[in-house]
């Protein structure tokens, strides 16, 4: 009897651990537009510095599982910026939409080589340059952006494998080396054409 109880306990423990791991590698973001007054005060100055203060900025509160963050989105010099802060208003990163052809050719070849190992068919849906904001001021980040000194590339890819379609978010360093991935939970209104 003891062995059966122990065996059931071990199976449940492994199932819980597997469920927790699956949750942490899944991207389920929800954004809600908020007013400037609800955005962290210390982050507004940063956004104005990066966005050249003359541009229209949209503010969002983002929930990804248990994590709450704030995001400012704007368009500056024909590029879409996404500036993300944690719940305390500390900068996490600045992401700028780019076309895949703007990635260094050697880095992009490395990225494609990695993606080819996952599925025969895939489509790169979105590419963003990522400038990590850890312990950096607004002028330092603005300087990195001006010099195009990219830290990472965040790429959203749709895969078609064995008649199954799924999406993932990948993070690669500036040389195209794999850092991390997260599955993206498709919303009911999402659709992908191949």
Model confidence at 51, pLDDT cuts 50, 70, 90, reads confident
Mean pLDDT value across residues 91-118: 94
Contact between 136 and 160 under an 8 Å Cβ cutoff? The reply is no
Structure tokens at 71: 């995001």
Q: Go through the domains of the chain in sequence order and give each one's CATH number.
A: 2-184 (3.10.450.360)
Is 34 a residue whose pLDDT tops 50? Answer: yes
Question: Highest mean pLDDT range out of 17-31, 101-115, 156-170?
Answer: 101-115
Residue 164 or residue 19, greater confidence: 164
pLDDT at residue 157 is higher than 90: yes
pLDDT at 93 over 90: yes
Share of the chain above pLDDT 70, in %: 80
Higher local confidence (pLDDT), 52 or 19? 52
Q: Does residue 185 or residue 75 have the better pLDDT?
A: 75
Q: How far apart are CA 1 and CA 99, in angstroms?
A: 62
Provide the pLDDT confidence category of residue 164 given band limits of 50, 70 and 90: confident
In 3-state terms the chain splits into helix, strand, coil percentages (rounded to 5) of: 30, 40, 25
Length of the chain: 194
72 φ, ψ (degrees, to nearest 5): -110, 130
- pTM of the entire predicted model: 0.78
Residue found under tokens 């978010």: 169
Q: Is 167 left (phi over 0), alpha (psi -120 to 50) or beta?
A: beta
């Amino acid at each position: 009897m003891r062995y059966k109880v122990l065996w059931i306990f071990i199976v449940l423990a492994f199932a819980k651990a597997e469920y927790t791991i699956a949750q942490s590698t899944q991207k389920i973001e929800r954004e809600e537009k908020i007013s400037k007054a609800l955005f962290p005060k210390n982050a507004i100055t940063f956004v104005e510095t990066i966005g050249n203060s003359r541009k229209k900025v949209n503010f969002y509160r983002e929930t990804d599982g248990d994590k709450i963050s704030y995001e400012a989105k704007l368009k500056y010099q024909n590029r879409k910026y996404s500036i993300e802060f944690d719940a305390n208003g500390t900068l996490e990163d600045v992401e700028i939409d780019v076309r895949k052809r703007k990635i260094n050719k050697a880095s992009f070849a490395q990225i494609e080589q990695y993606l080819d190992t996952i599925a025969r068919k895939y489509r790169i849906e979105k590419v963003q340059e990522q400038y990590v904001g850890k312990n950096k001021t607004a002028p330092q980040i603005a300087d990195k952006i001006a010099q195009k000194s990219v830290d990472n590339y965040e790429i959203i890819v749709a895969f078609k494998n064995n008649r199954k379609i799924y999406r993932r978010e990948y993070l690669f360093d500036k040389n195209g080396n794999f850092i991390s991935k997260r599955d993206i939970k498709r919303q009911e209104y999402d659709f992908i054409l191949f």
